[in-house]
Structure 1
């Protein structure tokens, strides 16, 4: 009896936390204070809804756009550039606000551009992810006030009586009261690819989530049959809610690239301080500065050089390169939610992947058909009826075997409630996936039209968990007879057969036939195929009008089929490519161990006979401590029958072992592991909204091969990041060393003020501050960005992934940066010495000409270095034409340098003077020493590597 709707809320005791799967249905109803026939009344349902809240998972409040924009400034390099702006504005103020603070304006513009790029790209990714989401409102059939009605699933409350039918989405966790051939698709929650046959009987012992046959869960769907259930949990109290709790507890770590950029920012910050102090000190003590104006000049120049030493274009170029990579990945159906995640896949050393829907198509497929005359194999996977029924490698021809297999597939399709249809080029099913597989196989045999024209359904004997059979009665219009067609578990159906079909005829079922059928069943089960048998009989004209299971006897055995959720055709190739790239692929699934082993073996993840670790075995290992789990994950590549917490622990164990882990998945059960992994990859088509929210990348086509393409793209991006970092840092190192060594060795190279450019003995700089800013303007932007667009090298996927502790800028790179910067500085200073009178090399030009020549050499040396930094090992002359963007950027920079040397108003602004063609030739030769040094360095490295 229902409580009075006016009863005050405090009088209601809270529901106990007993496991409803272990309780009789009456006890569950009593505990929920509801009635199986009438359900709740509307007032009581409203009160419970107000008390417990809507049946929905907790969601994070949306982040305002302004906060997302400000988040783009949360970067160490940006902090460094903001400090550079402040210092530059301070210097501008000390100089009496003369002119415009061009350098501060340029740096500020770069900072804003970087923030805008990051903000727009994240917004674009969010919009793409939202477009993938299926926004239809889910409703549920419930009994309210004694009437059946449909209500939004968010309004379900504990105690509601759910009325379940084929195609329904289950809106809350519920204990079954009745189950009539009820089959539920639970892949999104448990990873089980096959629909689970439910039973309302009480469980005798606690069971894992996938084995609680008398329970249904939020987020799953009814594949077939009907049922009645009482809601036991809603919202965050559901099994899906438990996973959401785990998800909220998981902290989202920074990507490896974010960690590296932070490290680079710290290093550059320290370098700027060191450079500023060293240059100012050198100017003060070596330059014989004795006046206050000279001190101020030294301070301003030191600060300007330190600011120039910071590659202010780095954040914007980094964002642009990542954004371009994101666009290329989007073309391959991979949607990246955060720019910094692009490179992470390229660094991944392990890809942990779910099976159902990721490596497989999540589309049950008939693979084998067996009968008295032999067996055939069905080609093609999925619900698209593309393929053939083949015997011994050729299409099955007319004859005894064709007749038998036609009877099997036609009979299985008749005893089916599934439908198959084409919608905008895609094939979709309604109903049980196993039954749909029979429809597809029948079409591959080419007899679908004949069945629909010849047979008419009369009645159905529904599937029953005790009988393990389903039968239909059909009218054969061609032969004017009535047939009973039965499909079900082979061992059960065999016991009800007295005859067997052989060709177009029927023979008595002998022991040899039974033994052969049993061997076929064992062979298919050994290959992880789900087996179904099909039989039939001709009914007498006086058969009862209301069919009953008692008719299922004296059947003619047609034969059996083996069904599997097959691997994606492209997945094996993608896995092989990943392994060649040194990336380990691990399968983690909630499916049966035998099925997991079969799929993993077919795809090349493991060898035949390798161990598969189950969830129970993982629990035993976890009880022994983290060391036991760590040892297991080093050698085990397939995990089956695992729970969400198991997936999470596996990912964490791999990370502790030093791996960068990518985790793919589509079900709610994958979400915590996706969030914990270095990069979570969700399926865009079959993935749940919870999974997409937790992931950093979404595959719009649910294709595992897309992940490998993303790995290739990520590696190419990382390689390009190293290229433009080498370029920017060596260029800025060349500028710093030119000024530093030029001041120290001014007397050696004849860099003095004796020619009237100042009082004798006064400090003379090899380059002017405006010239350094110009160099940064024309060489730090377009060429660096063009390097970021370099195509991946041919051996990108033949190199092992970088290790977790490897730095983006390692010792070898720093050595190359310093060497290259030193060569640039020496070439620049020797050019100045060549043009100036006195010094090591006697020249005859004035200081302005010498400075212009040195200035030009430094610009050209950096442009030569563009080609040098494209590879640490290969010659700069290899693949010269593969990046037209780089040639365009170099040509633009050369034209701008010609303009600053030969345009009169630019001569005045930048302290330059025109050069002759011969002088330009000399500058080009001196600048090219950077290229020849790089070639020599690569030859030496290669020789040392071969010797080692």
Structure 2
């Protein structure tokens, strides 16, 4: 394989074709599909020397012409653009507008002091941007750590010499030399192959290694059936091959799929849409509130001077500041960042903060099969011989488990003897190896199906005795024509006699057998016994198991062990093994939890329909007996039929990347929030198109990781369910602090508005030195309330523990707003309760009004100011649930209690510390007044309890 032409390249086989002038890709040449043409024709079309390969100079020319053999990647985003992107949010726009208005008002007022409100809002905006930037940088670092950074190399024939070069330097026309364990560096047409099996699951979804050969195809075939081609991004599981490269870089099949990503639109997450909606809504509300209040004051008041007019404008700015929860963007980012950290501790790496909540809204999870729902480790599950059948426990390559018959381990007897011969024979007739690493993990080298025999043999008899008993003296390699592989072994326990051991397709092997092993006896393989063996094979196939049979025969003294295929005759049949890529046990549990949460789980794979249906039934995705829909069947449907199929069917097999993308689009068009999991290149377009793509971190390709929004570092499907739970809790908590922030800010706005409108009734008219209109609160006091109540308590509410089991209710509909009509009613009602408590307290201490007090304006205003602060702190408990009592799990959130205590102490300080008295226009309160303020503030809590009791009664 290191030099010279292959058997298929025969100069006299066909008329000469003109040698290509350049290394044009075959898609642009006269040979549009290399798999349908003779290898010699492909070599000639590519202008390659079949014996020596390309020259170094020609390879360099072609590399300059076609570029590196690499997938195109988006240029890295500069840090300044990433930072700037953190400001692209409707709420941030609103806060920036508030900064500008406040600056203008400060300038008009004469710039007599520092614009405290401007500084505070600007710091909040910068803090929010910094949180988002840092968290996304952390996620990027985690994704980079998951990537395989080792450079891939390939063996090629150049200038008549075998060379190992970086795969990026491969060019069309290179002669690629493949060996077991190699990564295929580019798309290539096979010219020769010896027992070549290629693992293509990352590209096609096929779980089993595919047997390859050089024979041209009679007609165009799907990607998974192009047996004379090898593709970039796949790997050689067994055997050797010799091929001419037909495509590199973005012209490969992997490149074609990666190119689909550029045409795939990335939808904003539900949370991004919701925040944009909230921003627009608050922007409109702020303008309306400011105009109504300012207009009302202008109508009700006698504006005589410019300063009066400026004072009214400043009041409008104060109301705008009061109405906008400036802490919301920062709190939202912090809550999402904390959610990301919790998910990272469970091996889920989120690349974008806003994606955290998306899984909580997911109504459908579309999953690939191989490596995602299954272990991607071929395992023998059942063994059938003449004396009966057995079940092999344990999955994967770790030899933990046992061989059982009717629930009990096999013991000495005919069945045990037959099974030992079958599993030992299957292990001998293979080139796989099973080894344990230094960290205790088990890994294989070679074909996974052959390795399954090694694992099962150890489960039956411990350490493989065959290594001491047998010595290989020859091999008859597997071929696609024979569908068999044989080894010739020297049996040291039988006087060094030679024995041929054969493994292969049951139907082919049975036809070559004349005798049958029953226990330790050898009996004629008559028609009835032959029919029984074929029935066993059919039974295993019906269970969606891949079948391999084992036979053997001792060689006569006069037989030459080098005779070859002639030795594979008159064999002694032993039995058949049923093999499967087993489902992950934790995946079944996760799927059951997902279905309980109202989430539909779908399997979309490139594997065989029968295998897909079996795995889906084992995992609980569908009922046993449900048939998988194939890609061919999907192609035959019109748009309406396709949409109907997607609504009803949950298992799809033999599908292409375009099918996966079409299925995701159909689900989204039907109003679903779709999560798509996968690990292969073929999954990447659907990963990007889905509402949230979830890539596998261990087995996933770099293309799939780049397209996904979340990466599972442990490839565990169960992690997705934990992410769903986390996402739902996050959305619940977002609603909690939105309810809290909006109702608190509504209380501030209504306090100002009702205080101005009802100034005469409350005794505020004439209470000031000028005898004119007096505001119930100062602008600095409003800013202080927002500072101590909007930050800590709201953030603590954002990490509130799960109060109810969020996985027992259906997913949130995309049309369901975070702030719905019910929340608005709660916000407005609670805001009125706060405003009334604050204004009645002011009236209680001012002369005139409903209550004839005898205190100064500063004293009365300080009392009302304090009531509003404490009312918002009491409101923290109200806001934790829409309908549940505030006393339900009252002490579950210690952080909430801590932030409330800190806020209360800060309010005590602003009332009793002299410097703060001057800054915020407050005076000290007496103990009696403190008791009154706390009692009046608590009315908000009791009002909320009555409202919730009525709500629960109505709903019941």
In 1, distance between residues paired with 2:306 and 2:928? 42
In 2, distance between residues paired with 1:288 and 1:848? 24
Matched, 1:572 2:616: no
Could you say which residue in structure 1 is the equivalent of 2:396?
382
Deviation of 1:906 (Å): 1.7
Could you say which residue in structure 2 is the equivalent of 1:340?
354
Matched, 1:605 2:605: no
Q: What whole-Å deviation, never above 9, does each CA across 1:558-595 have from its counterpart, x for those lacking one?
A: 21110000110011110111111111111100000000
Paired residues for 1:209-358 under 5 Å? 209-358=223-372
Matched, 1:739 2:755: no
Matched, 1:110 2:124: yes
In structure 2, the residue corresponding to 1:880 is in which secondary structure? Answer: coil
In 1, distance between residues paired with 2:907 and 2:30? 80
Maintained 8 Å contact 1:345/1:710? yes
In 2, distance between residues paired with 1:843 and 1:393? 88
Matched, 1:867 2:882: no
In 2, distance between residues paired with 1:883 and 1:454? 67
In 1, distance between residues paired with 2:563 and 2:209? 26
Q: What whole-Å deviation, never above 9, does each CA across 1:803-846 have from its counterpart, x for those lacking one?
A: 11111111111111111111111111111122223212333333
Maintained 8 Å contact 1:240/1:668? yes
Q: What whole-Å deviation, never above 9, does each CA across 1:14-59 have from its counterpart, x for those lacking one?
A: 6335111111122112211223222222222221111111111111
Residues 185 and 85 (structure 1 numbering): CA distance in 2 closer, same or farther, change over 3 Å?
same
Could you say which residue in structure 2 is the equivalent of 1:407?
421
Maintained 8 Å contact 2:20/2:45? no
Deviation of 1:3 (Å): 13
Query: Which among 560, 564, 575 is matched to residue 559 of structure 1?
Result: 575
Could you say which residue in structure 2 is the equivalent of 1:81?
95
Paired residues for 1:747-766 under 5 Å? 747-754=760-767, 757-760=768-771, 762-766=772-776
Q: What whole-Å deviation, never above 9, does each CA across 1:600-638 have from its counterpart, x for those lacking one?
A: 1111111122232110011011xx2x2221111110111
In 2, distance between residues paired with 1:904 and 1:7? 90
Matched, 1:650 2:663: yes
Q: What whole-Å deviation, never above 9, does each CA across 1:290-311 have from its counterpart, x for those lacking one?
A: 2221111111122122122211
Could you say which residue in structure 1 is the equivalent of 2:946?
936
In 2, distance between residues paired with 1:119 and 1:542? 78
Query: Which among 826, 836, 849 is matched to residue 846 of structure 2?
Result: 836
Residues 569 and 547 (structure 1 numbering): CA distance in 2 closer, same or farther, change over 3 Å?
farther
Maintained 8 Å contact 1:751/1:764? yes
Could you say which residue in structure 1 is the equivalent of 2:915?
905
Deviation of 1:725 (Å): 0.7
Maintained 8 Å contact 1:257/1:343? yes
Query: Which among 706, 725, 731 is matched to residue 738 of structure 2?
Result: 725
Could you say which residue in structure 1 is the equivalent of 2:783?
773
Q: Which moved more, 1:597-606 or 1:156-165?
A: 156-165
Deviation of 1:398 (Å): 2.5
Deviation of 1:6 (Å): 14
In structure 2, the residue corresponding to 1:74 is in which secondary structure? Answer: coil
Residues 425 and 111 (structure 1 numbering): CA distance in 2 closer, same or farther, change over 3 Å?
farther
Deviation of 1:115 (Å): 1.0
In structure 2, the residue corresponding to 1:463 is in which secondary structure? Answer: coil
RMSD: 1.9
Q: What whole-Å deviation, never above 9, does each CA across 1:477-512 have from its counterpart, x for those lacking one?
A: 223222211111111111122222222332222333
In structure 2, the residue corresponding to 1:535 is in which secondary structure? Answer: strand
In 2, distance between residues paired with 1:578 and 1:879? 26
**TM-score (normalised: structure 2):** 0.96
In 2, distance between residues paired with 1:438 and 1:718? 49
In 2, distance between residues paired with 1:764 and 1:329? 52
In 1, distance between residues paired with 2:28 and 2:223? 24
In 2, distance between residues paired with 1:372 and 1:167? 37
Query: Which among 489, 497, 500 is matched to residue 474 of structure 1?
Result: 489
Could you say which residue in structure 2 is the equivalent of 1:923?
933
Deviation of 1:102 (Å): 1.4
Deviation of 1:397 (Å): 2.2
Deviation of 1:711 (Å): 0.5
Matched, 1:525 2:541: yes
In structure 2, the residue corresponding to 1:464 is in which secondary structure? Answer: coil
Matched, 1:451 2:461: no
Maintained 8 Å contact 2:17/2:41? no
In structure 2, the residue corresponding to 1:58 is in which secondary structure? Answer: coil
Maintained 8 Å contact 1:856/1:923? yes
In 1, distance between residues paired with 2:315 and 2:22? 80
Could you say which residue in structure 2 is the equivalent of 1:193?
207
Could you say which residue in structure 2 is the equivalent of 1:716?
729
In 2, distance between residues paired with 1:47 and 1:911? 80
In 1, distance between residues paired with 2:924 and 2:523? 105
Matched, 1:588 2:599: no
In structure 2, the residue corresponding to 1:366 is in which secondary structure? Answer: strand
Could you say which residue in structure 2 is the equivalent of 1:880?
890
Deviation of 1:670 (Å): 0.3
Residues 13 and 939 (structure 1 numbering): CA distance in 2 closer, same or farther, change over 3 Å?
closer
Q: What whole-Å deviation, never above 9, does each CA across 1:296-353 have from its counterpart, x for those lacking one?
A: 1111122122122211111111100000000000011000000011111111111111
Query: Which among 126, 131, 139 is matched to residue 153 of structure 2?
Result: 139
Query: Which among 432, 453, 456 is matched to residue 441 of structure 1?
Result: 456
How many residues were matched structurally? 939
Could you say which residue in structure 2 is the equivalent of 1:665?
678
Q: What whole-Å deviation, never above 9, does each CA across 1:882-914 have from its counterpart, x for those lacking one?
A: 111101011111111111122222222222222
Could you say which residue in structure 2 is the equivalent of 1:783?
793
Maintained 8 Å contact 1:3/1:33? no
In 2, distance between residues paired with 1:124 and 1:759? 57
Maintained 8 Å contact 1:179/1:227? yes
In 1, distance between residues paired with 2:113 and 2:920? 14
Paired residues for 1:362-373 under 5 Å? 362-373=376-387
In 2, distance between residues paired with 1:238 and 1:34? 19
Query: Which among 434, 454, 470 is matched to residue 420 of structure 1?
Result: 434
In 1, distance between residues paired with 2:788 and 2:269? 32
Deviation of 1:795 (Å): 2.0
Could you say which residue in structure 1 is the equivalent of 2:4?
none
In structure 2, the residue corresponding to 1:928 is in which secondary structure? Answer: helix
Q: What whole-Å deviation, never above 9, does each CA across 1:538-569 have from its counterpart, x for those lacking one?
A: 12233314240111122222211100001100
In structure 1, the residue corresponding to 2:762 is in which secondary structure? Answer: coil
In 2, distance between residues paired with 1:602 and 1:941? 44
In 1, distance between residues paired with 2:22 and 2:30? 19
Q: Which moved more, 1:423-432 or 1:590-599?
A: 423-432
Deviation of 1:148 (Å): 1.6
Query: Which among 184, 188, 191 is matched to residue 170 of structure 1?
Result: 184
In structure 2, the residue corresponding to 1:465 is in which secondary structure? Answer: coil
Maintained 8 Å contact 1:832/1:854? yes
Query: Which among 624, 628, 638 is matched to residue 641 of structure 2?
Result: 628
Could you say which residue in structure 2 is the equivalent of 1:895?
905
- Structure 2: which 5+ runs fail to align? 1-10
Maintained 8 Å contact 2:205/2:370? yes
Residues 443 and 619 (structure 1 numbering): CA distance in 2 closer, same or farther, change over 3 Å?
same
Q: Which moved more, 1:458-467 or 1:606-615?
A: 606-615
In 2, distance between residues paired with 1:61 and 1:126? 14
Residues 685 and 24 (structure 1 numbering): CA distance in 2 closer, same or farther, change over 3 Å?
same
Matched, 1:39 2:17: no
Maintained 8 Å contact 1:351/1:663? yes
Q: What whole-Å deviation, never above 9, does each CA across 1:378-402 have from its counterpart, x for those lacking one?
A: 1111112222211211222232222
In 2, distance between residues paired with 1:866 and 1:615? 54
Q: Which moved more, 1:480-489 or 1:783-792?
A: 480-489
